[in-house]
Chains A and B, each alone.
Chain A
Amino acid sequence: DQQVKQNSPSLSVQEGRISILNCDYTNSMFDYFLWYKKYPAEGPTFLISISSIKDKNEDGRFTVFLNKSAKHLSLHIVPSQPGDSAVYFCAGLSQGGSEKLVFGKGTKLTVNP
């Protein structure tokens, strides 16, 4: 049972445009969500997070939106830059229960110059 789903394995956008990466989850116990970015041959690095009590969190060019009723979150990158090309993982966490992060399978973003 996949608790976190990233249905788009890849996404290609033009430099300067907006990148929108989507994530759906099924576990209602998740109260915290995180996005990680991963370059080849490196470990995932934490990018941005959002608590379930919020519907938006912004950090520079990165904004995460949460729609609890739809069990959906998205990561917006604007403007996109070639250095943003990486695999992006969405993860859910139940802070009141097990601490383990449950990851989606990732979306490979390519930003073309």
Chain B
Amino acid sequence: DAGVIQSPRHEVTEMGQEVTLRCKPISGHNSLFWYRQTMMRGLELLIYFNNNVPIDDSGMPEDRFSAKMPNASFSTLKIQPSEPRDSAVYFCASSLRQVGAAFFGQGTRLTVV
């Protein structure tokens, strides 16, 4: 298996633009997580899906952030409009329920200028 695949690896955008981050989880995994990593806050969970259904989105910072999982093999995290403070590395991870360990993608480094 190729592991969790995220795209793009790097994204530079201007403030106010819409940004869409993409994730393909490991086949067979039924939980998907979006994390954001910053120097100040470390790794923080934004949203978590189980069987394609959002279970906990309490970490989504504002209404500018939205996430979807239309099927078991694809998820998106959208920021609209983007702001400089959204600059961070965004990770997607997937896991099998009851196993515990989540497997991470390589991340998307987002820079909003």
Contacts and interface: CB of A to CB of B under 8 A. Distances in A.
A94 B107 CA distance: 25
Interface in A89-113: 89, 93, 95, 98-106
A43 B31 contact: no
Contact of A98 (B44, B56, B98, B101): B56
Interface stretch (A20-28, A44-52, A68-76, A78-86): A44-52
A93 B56 contact: no
B45 interface: yes
Interface string B39-78: 0011111001010000110000000000000000000000
B102 to A, nearest CB: 6
Select the residue from B55, B98, B102, B106 with max chain A CB neighbours within 10 A: B102
Nearest to B97: A99
B39 to A, nearest CB: 9
Interface residues of A, number: 22
B100 to A, nearest CB: 5
Given A89-B43, A99-B50, A100-B33, A43 B101 contact: no
Contacts of B98: 95
A43 B104 contact: yes
A43 B45 contact: no
B42 to A, nearest CB: 4
Given A46-B101, A49-B100, A103 B107 contact: no
B25 interface: no
A46 B42 contact: no
A99 B45 CA distance: 11
25 contacts: A32-B100, A34-B100, A41-B106, A41-B107, A42-B106, A42-B107, A43-B4, A43-B91, A43-B93, A43-B105, A44-B43, A46-B101, A49-B100, A49-B101, A95-B100, A98-B48, A98-B56, A99-B48, A100-B45, A103-B35, A103-B43, A104-B42, A105-B41, A105-B43, A106-B43
Given A98-B48, A103-B44, 5 more contacts: A41-B107, A43-B91, A99-B50, A99-B55, A103-B42
